[in-house]
Amino acid sequence: MGRGSSAIERKDRLRRRDVIGLIPAAALWPALGLHASENVKVVGVLAGGMAGDELMQSYLHTFREGLGSYGWVEGQNLRFIYRYAGNDPNLMRRGAQELVRLSPDAILALPAPVVPFLQNETKAIPIVFVFVIDAVALGYVASLSAPGGNITGFSNFEPGMGTKWLELLKEIAPDITRVGCMFNPAVDSVFDKVVVDAVKRGGSRFRVEVTLEPVRSDDEIGEAMRSLAGSGGMIVLPGIFNVLHRDAIIAQAAQHRVPTVYGFDFYAQAGGLLSYGEIPSEEFRGAARYVDRILHGTRPSDLPVQLPTKFRLVINARAAKAQGFAISPALLIQADDVIE
């Protein structure tokens, strides 16, 4: 245990060093130079992820493509400033401070934990968020229809998803009696108030006990999966820690043969059993649409927070076979994608 923890600590230190190393070069840009022309708009990005994460870059590419479809061309009439904060609140705070000092015309914020740091730094610069569970419960906006202030964006959760996750687990493993909800309480504390409550409301219907499974390291991920082996299933909630540690989560679920459902399709594509959730690329396209409107003068307070309307079920049949889970024909028919 001690040896494993020290290895993780070394890995985390390297990650923090990598993230910190990305910041100073951009910070050297003079603020006045960002707006070299009145025709050039500047969009800041504060991301609670790693710059080298291919998944993160694919989503940001979708965002840039979306802006391009509205006529915004990077290097001509648009510039970007990026700050990557990993899973580190200190880097989130520092990134927020640096972006606000550079006075961009709008900021894309993702996921939820980075938003309050921006909120503390500015009440004027428009902020569009993605990957936020419940913006009202978190205090980011006054209401979904009338956000108020300088913040709006796109949610990746609606309460019916909690019941659907349970339904899928019982479909694939009918005998489970417990279901854990995995999240990191240090950065995703809202989950136990919003998402887990939604899951628990469906627990009695499916006759399962719903428990919290807080994790802060790869070792704790393994312990959580081990505790559910044999009689339980796992819901991996859509938090930034879980995204950054997705390889360890998928591997431990497979090792302990714990039926596990994920909130994003990239988990199933990477070897996870099955996923059900909104379509992340749709959020980033929507964020591009909102940023375009803001750059043309629309106030964030006039742009309602959007809940997900499109959902995607992905089943990894190869993982199911390897772990000994049978996928019924009825469930296969429901799937939007089946990985053979």
* 244-292 pLDDT tens trace: 999 999 999 999 999 999 999 999 999 999 999 999 999 999 999 999 9
Q: For the stretch 294-322, what's the b/e string if a residue is b when 16 or more beta carbons lie within 10 angstroms of its beta carbon?
A: bbeeeebbebebbebeeebbbbbbebbee
pLDDT of residue 86: 87
DSSP β-bridge partners for residue 128: 108, 152
- Mean pLDDT throughout 110-117? 93
Say yes or no to pLDDT of 22 above 80.
no
pLDDT of residue 266: 95
pLDDT tier at 197 (50, 70, 90 boundaries)?
confident
pLDDT of residue 203: 86
pTM of the complete model: 0.86
Q: Where are the domains of the chain?
A: 2-155+280-302, 160-278+311-339
pLDDT of residue 37: 59
Mean pLDDT rounded to a whole number for the chain:
89
pLDDT tier at 204 (50, 70, 90 boundaries)?
confident
Please give the backbone phi and psi of residue 66, each rounded to the nearest 5 degrees, phi first.
Answer: -60, -45
- Mean pLDDT throughout 212-236? 96
Cα gap 237→183, rounded to integer Å = 6
pLDDT of residue 13: 44
* 140-188 pLDDT tens trace: 999 999 999 999 999 998 888 999 999 999 999 999 999 999 999 887 7
Closest CA to 337 of 269, 285, 270: 269
Residues of the chain with pLDDT > 70, as a percent, come to 87
Question: Which residue has better confidence, 45 or 49?
Answer: 45
Residue 340 tokens read as: 């053979």
Q: Is 171 helix (H, G, I), strand (E, B) or coil?
A: helix
Q: What is the dihedral of CA 148, 150, 153, 159, to 10 degrees?
A: -40
pLDDT of residue 72: 98
- Most confident range (mean pLDDT) of 22-26, 47-51, 283-287 is 283-287
Can you list the pairs that 213-218 forms with residues at least 24 positions away whose Cβ atoms lie under 8 Å? 213/180, 213/181, 213/182, 213/183, 214/183, 214/184, 214/185, 215/182, 215/183, 215/184, 215/241, 215/245, 216/184, 216/185, 216/186, 216/241, 217/5, 217/8, 218/4, 218/8, 218/245, 218/248
Which residues, 6+ apart, have CB-to-CB distance to 195 below 8 Å? Answer: 133, 157, 162, 181, 183, 237
pLDDT of residue 189: 67
pLDDT of residue 34: 56
Instruction: Provide CATH code, domain 160-278+311-339.
Output: 3.40.50.2300
Instruction: Name the least confident of 101-110, 170-179, 237-246.
Output: 237-246
The yes-or-no answer to whether 2-155+280-302 and 160-278+311-339 have a common fold is yes
CATH topology of domain 2-155+280-302: Rossmann fold (3.40.50)
